[in-house]
A and B are shown apart, each in its own frame.
Chain A
Amino acid sequence: MNTRIAILALLLITSTAARAQQAPPSGDILVQNATVLTITQGTLTSADILILDGKIAALGEEISPPEGATVIDATGLYVMPGIIDAHSHIGVSNVNEPTAPVTAQVSVGDVLNPYSVSIYRALAGGVTTSHVMHGSANVIGGQNETIKHRWGMTDPAALRMAGAPRTIKFALGENPTRVHGRGNSVRPASRMGVEYVLRETFSKAERYRESWKRYEGEIRTDARAIPPPYNGQLEVITDILTGDILIHCHSYRADEILMLLDVLEDFGVDRVTFQHVNEGFKIAPELAAFGKHGAAASVFADWWAYKFEVYYSTAYNAAILARNGVLTSINSDSGELNRHLYHEAAKSQKYGDLSDDEALALITINPAKQLGIEDRVGSIEVGKDGDLALFTAHPLSIYAIPQTTIIDGRVYFDRDRDPDDVRLQVDPEAAVDIAVLHEKHDHQACLEDGSLTVYDLAQELE
């Protein structure tokens, strides 16, 4: 809640109520006798993990179960921190507001959909936290939301990871230039235009911030001072410039990534995570050197060639970036891939020889850092959230099966006990045998389909 909204709230006479948000349920669990992949503190064999009131309370051997705690015998199982997907579009009613090159005022957090079964399916792949993102149709798209996969809660607010920093989606390159420039004859139609959409918007926000600062001064001495126009979009941009909102930028080509780094440098922003960033490998040193902490990269394990800007790609991208000191994660951007991120992470061992801990960090502590939630999740450490994924084998093995997934000390997925049909809501009118077939994630499949419009495709851009 910033000053402008506070002032406007005063103008409304009524006070702004705090969002009524109940704390999500948490539990007590003792996981016994597991191989524990802590990620940050090595691997423990035959270890116990005690979670009390949703937080990891102890880590060690032969911890005795407190009264009332659920005890899980994890003999023969591997336990890793709940997997974090830094790029997802599940669990929301809308993905893209594709109508303008800048739509910072919208937020997917406003349209979370806890009924979406993809939340459960990811949970069944060991994922406990997802960064649910706006689509990539806009240079500055909507705000994202970091959620926990608390399947079963039907209040959208229960999905939110309270306290996670706000983030926003940016997008460079083909998608925004196609949708706006070529689709609507609205700038940008080129990467040159993309740069100036950014510079213009940032500059406007600076002036917006100044106009409110001026007003805040004036109103102290002049009760009749006129407040400047309220602009929800520039409010958000202002928060980006002050660092309150973290940028996650859909990008592929090295040149456009460097462009954004230059723009951010000019406007004094020094935290950014590039998403996809297929050509990140070319400029890994530049990414690592950016700002105080370096620019981060969240990549696909091996996706490429679905469009021209990812033709010049390598599956070794994650390894090259990691080896060059870039904070790197592997994400899914897909309701299919997010069910086996552990397998996606393992590909970094085939493509670049990462160690087990390095590979697993790509889907745990590294994305946690990119989302600004590393003090809460991403490793198994005392004091962190009780978010765990239990596997039947080492999670980097193709033969590993996610067995149990725990969030805040509560079991949300149990392979042995869960019913087949986990839906929380059933269409009372629909036939029970409706099948939705595999979607090829290529544009050809979409374009062949007469029932799809260009507009649907724009909404689909991820």
Chain B
Amino acid sequence: MMAFFFSLILATGLVATPAPDSVIALTNARIVTVTGDTIERGTLVMDRDVIVALGPDVAIPQSARVIDCTGLTIYPGLIDSGTQIGLVEVGSLAETRDGSELGDLSPQMKALTAVNPNGVAIPVTRISGVTTVLTEPSGGMLPGQAALINLHGYTPMQMYAGFEGVALRFPRTGRRGRFDRRSDEDVQKAADKAQKKLDDTWDGGELYHRIDSTYRAAPEQGRRPEYVPSMAALLPVIRGKQTLIIYVDTAKDIEAAIKWVEERKIQKVVFSGLAEGWRVADKLAAANIPCLVGPVLSVPTRSSDRYDKAYANASLLHEAGVTVALRSDDTANARNLPYHAGFAATYGLEKEAALRAVTTVPAEIFGVADRLGSLEVGKEATLFVADGDPFETRTRIHHVFIAGYDIPMESRHTRLYDEFLSRDPALKKHERN
């Protein structure tokens, strides 16, 4: 059964056309650059993977393949700041889940290693305009390193979009869904225990850093430190070279995490989740920690909360001065990222801020704003062409380019539509003898 199953994955994984046309010009388009002014009617020219020209009066190179975009709008590819794309194929089947390693302390595990470029969700997601996603390991306190990937490529390294961060699931005092029937005391006890484990681990990491640094300063005088891969993986974070992504949701936990980050002097840090972020928005703003917020489409955390608090969360954080990027926290339906942004916009976030929260802001948070997140000359040609507001449900995406590759607008979902809308022939039902 599993053999059949894997062959199915391989047979149906869609990969884009191998080589990009060297030069493509998108003409007569409205161009939403995000960082600059919107060009109401203009042309964007890509040469292989880079935007080489963009503006109302751009000369179209002779060699260019021209795509007329009259009535259409070009946007930078959307970035989802939290998914498990490539790591989880079928949610209920352990054989198809690679995002979770055993144990609590595995920061050395790299999501990128396990990204399956043939994942069926990849084409499904990208043809909705979501071109780039953070794909995250899960399970345990330090589940591993999340990776930013573009949703096109034959190998994980081709997909790699230039950011890896160490994930930390901060000790939680919230309840894990409605079947969590632990008492208040037990919840607190578990959180305290986890907090101690985290502190002990970090002490270990800092000690390892001291030993390792001393050795490196004069390797000939000492012997190599013990091989402790989990601690070694924390070194870039402790040394301020790599980002720590802290997953934290309840108000109380967020406050604890802010304090912990200060105490431990973590230099590069982002928070993710933030279901109750709005409650402590001022503290998050004061701590100046960027936030990957979402899912927006979720229910309020407390039964006493106003019904729309989850929708409004991103807006309330933004208003308080927090740097907000959005995440779907989904895999099969990360394609709905634009709707998460749309709901955030409907419930208080300015549309422009909502757009930035899925383009430039995550690009900046992940340190890839020089290539992704906006339409500018010199940046990567990762963009899509839509017939309207990308947050509107009915809007169609007509073209997607990832690093200049003209992505086929196909996925399992579109192909089944094409095959079955008017199924032919009407199949005969054979009678049993």
Contact = CB atoms under 8 A, between A and B. Distances in A.
Interface in B331-368: 331-333, 335-336, 339, 342-343, 345-347
Contacts of B182: 451
A67 interface: no
A196 interface: no
Interface in A288-327: 302-308, 311-316, 319-320, 323-324
Interface string B391-424: 1111110000000000000001110110011110
B333 A303 contact: yes
Given A438-B329, A444-B97, A420 B393 contact: no
Given A307-B92, A308-B92, A308-B93, A350 B393 contact: yes
Contacts of A239: none
Nearest to A399: B346
A460 B179 contact: yes
Interface in B210-268: 249-252
Contacts of A304: 332-333
B300 to A, nearest CB: 8
Contacts of A307: 90-93
Interface string B98-136: 011000000000000000000011000000000000000
Contacts of A311: 8, 89-90, 120
A255 to B, nearest CB: 13
A117 interface: yes
A316 B333 contact: no
Contacts of A440: 329
A226 interface: no
B393 A397 contact: yes
Given A124-B307, A305-B121, A434 B175 contact: yes
A124 B308 contact: yes
B391 A398 contact: yes
B184 A430 contact: yes
A437 B90 contact: no
Contact of A306 (B301, B332, B336): B332
Contacts, number: 203
Interface in A362-402: 396-401
B421 A316 contact: yes
Contact of A444 (B138, B176, B275, B392): B138
B298 interface: yes
Nearest to A305: B332
A451 B417 contact: no
Contacts of B100: 444, 448
A281 B413 CA distance: 11
Given A306-B91, A430-B184, A448-B138, A314 B416 contact: yes
B299 A396 contact: no
A134 interface: no
A435 interface: yes
B185 to A, nearest CB: 11
Contact of A397 (B99, B180, B184, B392): B392
B196 interface: no
Interface stretch (A162-170, A217-225, A240-248, A335-343): A335-343
B339 A343 contact: yes
A451 B307 CA distance: 28
A23 interface: no
B302 interface: yes
A233 interface: no
A284 B420 contact: yes
B394 A350 contact: yes
A330 interface: no
Contacts of B307: 120-121, 124, 339, 422
A399 B345 contact: yes
A18 interface: no
B13 interface: no
Interface string B3-30: 0010010000000000000000000000
B285 interface: no
Nearest to A419: B306
B362 to A, nearest CB: 20
Interface in B276-314: 276, 295, 297-308
Interface string A163-198: 000000000001000000000000000000000000
B91 A349 contact: no
Given A303-B332, A314-B412, A456-B179, A442 B92 contact: yes
Contacts of B299: 118, 121, 335-336, 339, 438
Most buried by B among A286, A302, A444: A444
B393 A396 contact: yes
A420 B179 contact: no
Interface string A431-462: 11111111110111110110110001000100
Interface string A104-148: 000000000000011011001000000000000000000000000
B177 interface: yes
The binding surface of chain B is classed by DSSP as loop
A117 B298 contact: no
Given A421-B304, A435-B276, A336 B139 contact: no
A135 to B, nearest CB: 13
Interface in A77-119: 117-118
Contacts of B89: 305, 311
Nearest to A304: B332
B237 to A, nearest CB: 24
Contacts of A448: 100, 138-139
A174 B177 CA distance: 23
Nearest to A289: B426
Contacts of A156: none
Contacts of A285: 423, 426
B88 interface: yes
B417 A352 contact: yes
A308 B90 contact: yes
A257 to B, nearest CB: 13
A78 B359 CA distance: 32
B178 interface: yes
B393 A433 contact: no
Nearest to B338: A398
Nearest to B412: A314
A405 to B, nearest CB: 11
A346 interface: yes
B423 A442 contact: no
A207 interface: no
Q: Which has the most chain A C-beta neighbours within 10 Å: B252, B308, B342?
A: B308
A432 B305 CA distance: 11
> Most chain-B CB neighbours within 10 Å: which of A117, A303, A349, A433?
A433
Contacts of A456: 179
Nearest to A460: B179
B174 interface: yes
A215 interface: no
Contacts of A398: 339, 342-343, 345-346, 391-393
Given A339-B299, A435-B175, A435-B250, 17 more contacts: A304-B333, A307-B90, A311-B90, A312-B412, A312-B416, A316-B416, A352-B417, A352-B421, A398-B393, A420-B306, A421-B306, A433-B302, A435-B174, A436-B302, A437-B177, A439-B176, A444-B88
29 contacts: A117-B303, A281-B417, A284-B420, A285-B423, A305-B120, A308-B90, A314-B416, A316-B413, A316-B421, A319-B417, A323-B422, A336-B299, A349-B393, A350-B395, A398-B342, A398-B343, A398-B392, A422-B307, A423-B304, A432-B304, A435-B250, A435-B251, A437-B172, A438-B249, A438-B295, A442-B331, A444-B97, A444-B138, A452-B179
Minimum-distance CB pairs A-B, first 4: A442-B91, A316-B417, A346-B393, A305-B332
Interface of A: 117-118, 120-121, 124, 174, 281-282, 284-286, 302-308, 311-316, 319-320, 323-324, 335-336, 339-340, 343, 346-347, 349-352, 396-401, 420-423, 430-440, 442-446, 448-449, 451-452, 456, 460
